[in-house]
Amino acid sequence: MSDERRMDVLRAIVEDYVSTSEPVGSKALVERHALGVSSATIRNDMAALEESGFIAQPHTSAGRIPTDKGYRVFVDRLTTVKPLSGPEKRAIGAFLEDAVDLDDVVDRSVRLLAQLTHQVAVVQYPSLRRSALRHIELVPVGQRHLLVVLITDTGRVEQRTLEASAELDELGVAQLRATLNARVAGRRLAELRGVVDEVSQRYTDDDLALLRQVVGVVEETLAQESEERVVLAGTANLARGGTDFARSLGPVLEALEEQVVLLRLLSEMAEDTAAVSVRIGHETQHDGLVETSFVTSGYGDEGGSVARVGAIGPTRMDYPATMASVRAVARYLTRILAG
């Protein structure tokens, strides 16, 4: 048996099963696909695919359906992710570019992706740990209290209040703000360590103490993992595909509610080198998600991705279309945040 023909048969089974949700038989493959061989030959190919664990027979006298292993080979053999149409791209751009702030961008993105994929859409807020600072604002709110406002390059805004060890001088605060912005703009957390040493020679003891406090607040804020979160949309789409789940939807919904589960998966998938990463079934390593697949792509800036966007649905999903939609939304997110 030709390995290439066997993979063609597998591809045809995946495509037909995704399209019809019915187990696929050899007769249907002959009728729908130009495989160039007889029904008997295809039956032999299917038997070999089943023996190798790529397809399975759900019950006696039925056709075959792909397994996690079969879907994995299908996804890995996709040479290209089909691009969205021109109108689809323009619609995405127009919808996202009207957003007024980061929260609006995330909200629009997750709702849009749910509509495009007909799956559960997931958008991770930009990680503070991987974000760079765009601006620091220092606002005295009393004789000894200072409001520290951090604005990252991804549009995220964080506020913290600190108590100074000495009374604040407005002119001194203004000079400190100017100095810090000149030094920290565009820097990530790991690059902030030397800021105090760089500018300490020009400060008195009181001003240096305040500088250390402000830099400490900045480092502490950017290092906080508790601020990382995800936003979901389209959970109702799972109910529409309820027949794709052998068990109830309960375990899937419970897993989606546990943000720590999604954040772990997103963190692991961020290590993949592919532009679009796919975890299929048991590859999610979570019992509640064994009947789902998770498609994600990173978004951010030229320095690398700062978060991920993705779609979760049954393993019987249209992988090429889902991957294209996820990649497109991720690219628009990157473009908007970079702007």
Which DSSP string corresponds to 16-48?
A: HHHHH-S-B-HHHHHHHS---S-HHHHHHHHHH
Residue 323: the pLDDT is 95
Residue 187: the pLDDT is 79
> Which residues of the chain, if any, have pLDDT below 70?
1, 128-130, 189-190, 193, 200-201, 203, 206, 224-227, 241-243, 301-304, 339
* Tokens describing residue 44: 């032999």
Residue 220: the pLDDT is 81
Mean pLDDT of the chain: 86
Domains contained in the chain, CATH given: 3-76 (1.10.10.10), 86-126+228-338 (3.30.450.40), 133-226 (3.30.390.60)
| H or E stretch at 160 | strand 157-163
| H or E stretch at 114 | helix 102-117
Residue 98, classified by CB atoms within 10 Å of its CB into exposed (0-12), middle (13-18) or buried (19+), is exposed
* Tokens describing residue 33: 């696909």
- Rounded to whole angstroms, the Cα distance separating 334 from 200 reads 36
pTM: 0.79
| H or E stretch at 293 | strand 292-301
| DSSP structure class, residue 132 | B
| H or E stretch at 12 | helix 3-20
Looking up tokens 């000149």, which residue turns up? Answer: 182
Residue 302: the pLDDT is 59
- Strand, coil or helix: 149: strand
Residue 158: the pLDDT is 83
